[in-house]
Structure 1
Amino acid sequence: MAFEFKILEKENINLIIPLVYKLNDYKVSEAVLEQRFNEMIGQNYECAVIYDGDKLVGVCGLWYCTRHYSGRSVEPDHVFIDDAYRGQGLGKQFFEWIYNYVSGKGFEAMELNTYVSNYQSHKFYFNEGFKILGYHFIKKL
């Protein structure tokens, strides 16, 4: 199977909504996701995707910044691969593509958040060499 990894064109950002909707534990509505992604695409954000032919099967948002402790950094966000494509090494291939892509842009570190209850992702990220640095806190205003 030949997959295509690429950065999604900004005007096509709403194509990822159905996949990201499946990821959300707290179920933000698709309408709210659409509004937020249309705002995010104008910030320091890109969206990497996986296509199997014409079918969108994976997504990973990429946030770019410079942090005092890690330098030029990228944060993968809302990583999701369609259930039917899991367990085939596709996540590893996708992240290898992402590492090469962001390294080519001059970024030197990657850090991320994952849901506490998403045990499969914890195993994946440990296997990819990520280390736990701290806790992520949120307070709704």
Structure 2
Amino acid sequence: MTQIKFANTQDEYLKCWNAISALRPNLTKENYLALIDNMKNQTYQLVFIEDENGDVPAVVGFRYMTMLYCGNIIYIDDLSTISEARGKGYASQLLDFIIDLAQTQKLDGIHLDSGHQRYDAHRLYLNKKLKITAHHFSLNINS
């Protein structure tokens, strides 16, 4: 039996490390924890699935945002499943959790960006009725 939980403590954030690092291999545990501390001040929340063994196969990190073009939304920063747990429906469960959360809070929508090469993720998003509505552009300044 799996449970969906909010991470609230450093121990819970560390418990989510393997799932986060599967999506964000550029991070170290130290800068991950420092970034989490900073992002919590920007409404970032991390939700995880805990399996029957107490392991964390998947996580979703999100924040609340308000933008002129789309109103009040949940923006998903991170949705990740460890490689050995892919295809078991964990990401789908977490996405359903976020959809329910947005509906309960009467928000205007859910948004996320996804790397162009993440075909399996795109299939999931399209199956959940998300639409491809934009291209994302970025400029790295300090790299």
The residue aligned with 1:131 is 131
Normalising by structure 2, report the TM-score: 0.85
Is residue 116 of structure 1 aligned with residue 116 of structure 2? Answer: yes
The residue aligned with 1:101 is 101
Is residue 49 of structure 1 aligned with residue 32 of structure 2? Answer: no
Aligned Cα RMSD in Å? 1.8
Contiguous gaps of at least 5 residues in structure 1: none
Contact map agreement 2:22 2:83 (CA 8 A) in 1: no
The residue aligned with 2:29 is 30
- Quote how far apart the aligned CAs of 1:104 are: 1.8
Instruction: Work out the CA distance in 1 between the residues paired with 2:4 and 2:69.
Output: 30
Is residue 39 of structure 1 aligned with residue 21 of structure 2? Answer: no
Contiguous gaps of at least 5 residues in structure 2: none
Normalising by structure 1, report the TM-score: 0.86
Give me the identity figure in percent.
20
Contact map agreement 1:13 1:41 (CA 8 A) in 2: no
| Letter in structure 1 aligned against 2:93 | Q
Instruction: Work out the CA distance in 2 between the residues paired with 1:22 and 1:87.
Output: 15
- Quote how far apart the aligned CAs of 1:69 are: 2.0
Alpha-carbon deviations, 1:88-118, whole Å to 9, x = none?
A: 2232222112211232223220010011221
Q: How many residues align?
A: 139
Alpha-carbon deviations, 1:66-99, whole Å to 9, x = none?
A: 1222211001122111222221223222211221
Q: Secondary structure at the match of 2:84?
A: helix
| Letter in structure 2 aligned against 1:19 | A
Instruction: Work out the CA distance in 2 between the residues paired with 1:101 and 1:10.
Output: 21
